[in-house]
Amino acid sequence: MSTDYDQIYALIREVRKGEVASYGMIASLVPGVGPRQVARAMRAAPSDLKWYRIITASGAMADHSGAEEQRRFLKKEGVTFKKNGAVDWSKHRWRGPSQRWIKASVRSFEDIMEIVAGWGGR
DNA sequence: CTTCTGACGAAAT
DNA sequence: CATTTCGCCAGAA
């Protein structure tokens, strides 16, 4: 549904330069949406969306044709990688949505906080 | 309606 | 770590 996609895009716009989020992290904030749906939304992502800030839970680039390009974009934004080539989550993990986004969410502030806490802030 | 297919994820091996 | 297995679930065929 287009509505879900818009929710997903809105969240990704919350991820700032030098930060990265996983498909699962984004999905967990949109009721009824799973990781695979976030991935599906990426295929039709608006050209101005910073799609490359979304990676897999393991820290690797998802398996798609633009993976190499994605790695370059992230590097250019200052994202660092570990020996195995995966993004260093402890240094670049997205902190969560802004206050403004939370207010617009159907979910309670507490629920959002619990979800974000589950990402293991480190 | 049934099957197949993923820019995924968590757990098991 | 790397691989495999299975759960998920919206679209396409």
Task: Enumerate the domain spans of chain A.
Answer: 3-118
CATH number of A3-118: 1.10.10.10
Question: Is the minimum distance from the CB of A82 to strand C below 7 Å?
Answer: yes
As ranges, strand B nucleotides with an atom below 7 A of a protein CB are 6-10
Q: What backbone torsions phi and psi does residue A88 show, to the nearest 5 degrees?
A: -85, 90
- Model confidence band, residue A118 (pLDDT cutoffs 50, 70, 90): very high
In the prediction, which pLDDT does A85 show?
Answer: 94
- When pLDDT is cut at 50, 70 and 90, the band that residue A120 belongs to is confident
A1 has a pLDDT exceeding 60? no
Region A39-54 average pLDDT = 96
Instruction: Taking residues A64-76, report their average pLDDT.
Output: 96
Q: CA A37 → C1' C10, Å?
A: 7
Element (H, E) at A55: strand A54-55
